[in-house]
Homo-oligomer: A and B are copies of this chain.
Amino acid sequence: MASRRFLDRFRRRGRGRSSHVTLDVSPALTERDEVNVRELVADLLERHGTMTRQAEAEAIAEAYVTLTDDGRYRFLALLARDFWSDAVPVDEAIDAVRAAGDERARRAAEIALRDALTPPAVQVLQLFTALDGGVKLLVEMRGDLLRLGEDDADLADLDRELRGHLATLFDVGLLTLRRITWDAPASLLEKLIAYEAVHAIDSWADLKNRLDSDRRCYAFFHPAMPDEPLVFVEVALTTGVATAMTPLLDEHAPDLDPEAADTAIFYSISSCQPGLAGVNLGNALLKQVVERLTVELPQLRDFVTLSPVPGLRAWLETELRDGTVTEHERELLPAEPARVIARLSDEDWSSDEAIKPALLATCARYLTTVRDGRVIDPVANFHLANGAVLERINWAADPSAAGRERAFGIMVNYRYEPDAIAERAENYATRAEVALSDGIRALLAE
């Protein structure tokens, strides 16, 4: 990190003693190490001079990245427990609020109370931001918190603070949308291969096909992590709505002239940074990409996704086991529920045409099942919250092992109609109202 290197340089050049700070810890963070960390964090919080504070923050950050998962857990727990807001000053500040004589005094007391309620740990996180590589470190640290912090309420508190800080740092106003083509650096493209979460990229030839002239790929980037895509979307330009993946992934299919396309199919959206979970970037990405396409290719008429149904199989198995399938579905099933359960793991059977009517009907019900104010399928929830309409359920749309495993090969089209987006998003957010096409409505009515 920059300023340490800076100080090193001077020291190497023999400029005498230095106030340089080091923090040597073992990878697993022993109890003795914890004492040292605690002392240094405490010292940092009392410092006034920016330079020393920053040197101390650097020492802590550099120690952190050498830790194992166990060590990181202990470090994060230490922050979340020992550097949380103190009861005494909070109580005093509360008393001051209560004692405030007029509104002005009350406002001042409230501000002081809010400061007292801000955990010292949060200041440490904020100090990391300014370090060379600090933003990336915070994202990594959040990833650690999510991975390691399960079931620990204190870590959950820390996570909440860090997510809030990252939400500000990764505000869409600070992000850059960049189109990614086959002319992009190989070092960037290999990240797409690694991060693609929906339809795995098999090879560079597969990737090249997805960046052809009748394709578009866009990603958000952050200025402090310019080589790291945050989230990216893959789009195919087609005539008519695509209802299955196979033609889209066919490397030998001829390219369509983009100016002849009337439809943009959003067939994959992948987040690249686990540490940004809960910082909603996909919504803004879709919006900006639709805007760009609208300007570049004004003849486009339809903006439609071709999306997976990640939770369908698991949900259906539970439904069958619990016996909560509907009358109508039961009629459509080609066998007794118990036998259906037994055979569903046989993929050849479960994607058989015989079971198609039952699965389509069930899928429609699954996608519109609302719990706690949102539909239970995460992809459906994402698109409905963005203001899309549930357009169409496609049988045998994704023949890949992953596609059959998660949803018997079923995929779904969600349609974005720019003029209706805002209203639908509002209706879904406030009343969990799921916008449906006539086709889906018919499927549900049966």
Q: Show the binding face of A for B, using Cβ within 8 Å.
A: 2-3, 5-7, 9-11, 13, 15-19, 47-52, 55, 84-85, 87, 90, 94, 97-98, 104, 106-107, 110-111, 113-114, 117-118, 126, 129-132, 134-135, 153-154, 157, 160, 165, 168-169, 171-174, 176, 181-190, 204, 208, 223-224, 280, 283-284, 287-288, 290-291, 294-295, 298, 385-387, 417-419, 421-423, 425-426, 428-430
Please, which residues of chain B bring their CB within 8 A of the CB of A98?
Answer: 94
Please, which residues of chain B bring their CB within 8 A of the CB of A187?
Answer: 181-183
In the complex, are the beta carbons of B51 and A17 less than 8 A apart?
no
- Contacting A419 at CB < 8 Å: which of B10, B135, B287, B386? B10
Shortest Cβ-Cβ A-B pairs, 5 listed? A48-B429, A49-B425, A223-B223, A49-B426, A19-B422
What residue in chain B is nearest A16 (Cβ atoms)?
A: B419
9 inter-chain pairs at a CB distance below 8 angstroms, sorted by A residue, are A7-B418, A19-B422, A49-B387, A49-B425, A94-B94, A111-B160, A114-B118, A117-B117, A129-B173
- Known contacts A49-B428, A171-B129, A173-B131; is A186 also within 8 Å of B157 by CB? no
Please, which residues of chain B bring their CB within 8 A of the CB of A111?
Answer: 157, 160
In the complex, are the beta carbons of B107 and A154 less than 8 A apart?
yes
In angstroms, Cα B288 to Cα A9, docked, is: 14
In angstroms, Cα B385 to Cα A176, docked, is: 36
How far is the CB of A228 from the nearest CB of chain B, in Å? 13
- Known contacts A186-B208, A294-B6; is A284 also within 8 Å of B19 by CB? no
What residue in chain B is nearest A188 (Cβ atoms)?
A: B183
- Known contacts A48-B430, A104-B153; is A90 also within 8 Å of B97 by CB? yes
Please, which residues of chain B bring their CB within 8 A of the CB of A48?
Answer: 426, 429-430
Please, which residues of chain B bring their CB within 8 A of the CB of A169?
Answer: 168, 171, 174
Please, which residues of chain B bring their CB within 8 A of the CB of A294?
Answer: 6, 9-10
In the complex, are the beta carbons of B291 and A3 less than 8 A apart?
yes
In angstroms, Cα B135 to Cα A351, docked, is: 52
What residue in chain B is nearest A138 (Cβ atoms)?
A: B173
How far is the CB of A398 from the nearest CB of chain B, in Å? 26
How far is the CB of A367 from the nearest CB of chain B, in Å? 20
In the complex, are the beta carbons of B52 and A425 less than 8 A apart?
yes
How far is the CB of A85 from the nearest CB of chain B, in Å? 6
Most central of A51, A118, A171, A287 by chain B CB within 10 Å:
A51
- Known contacts A126-B168, A422-B51; is A174 also within 8 Å of B104 by CB? no
What residue in chain B is nearest A160 (Cβ atoms)?
A: B111
Most central of A49, A190, A287 by chain B CB within 10 Å:
A49
How far is the CB of A434 from the nearest CB of chain B, in Å? 14
How far is the CB of A350 from the nearest CB of chain B, in Å? 36
How far is the CB of A164 from the nearest CB of chain B, in Å? 10
In angstroms, Cα B15 to Cα A260, docked, is: 21
Please, which residues of chain B bring their CB within 8 A of the CB of A114?
Answer: 114, 117-118
Please, which residues of chain B bring their CB within 8 A of the CB of A110?
Answer: 85, 90, 117
Please, which residues of chain B bring their CB within 8 A of the CB of A168?
Answer: 126, 129, 165, 168-169
In the complex, are the beta carbons of B176 and A284 less than 8 A apart?
no
In the complex, are the beta carbons of A51 and B387 less than 8 A apart?
yes
How far is the CB of A118 from the nearest CB of chain B, in Å? 7
What residue in chain B is nearest A430 (Cβ atoms)?
A: B48
In the complex, are the beta carbons of A426 and B87 less than 8 A apart?
no
In the complex, are the beta carbons of B186 and A204 less than 8 A apart?
yes
Most central of A17, A173, A174 by chain B CB within 10 Å:
A173
Please, which residues of chain B bring their CB within 8 A of the CB of A185?
Answer: 182-186
Please, which residues of chain B bring their CB within 8 A of the CB of A51?
Answer: 287, 386-387, 421-422, 425-426
In the complex, are the beta carbons of A173 and B134 less than 8 A apart?
yes
- Contacting A2 at CB < 8 Å: which of B9, B291, B422? B291
Most central of A107, A188, A298 by chain B CB within 10 Å:
A107
Please, which residues of chain B bring their CB within 8 A of the CB of A52?
Answer: 422-423, 425-426
What residue in chain B is nearest A10 (Cβ atoms)?
A: B418
In the complex, are the beta carbons of A423 and B19 less than 8 A apart?
yes
How far is the CB of A114 from the nearest CB of chain B, in Å? 4
Please, which residues of chain B bring their CB within 8 A of the CB of A190?
Answer: 204, 208
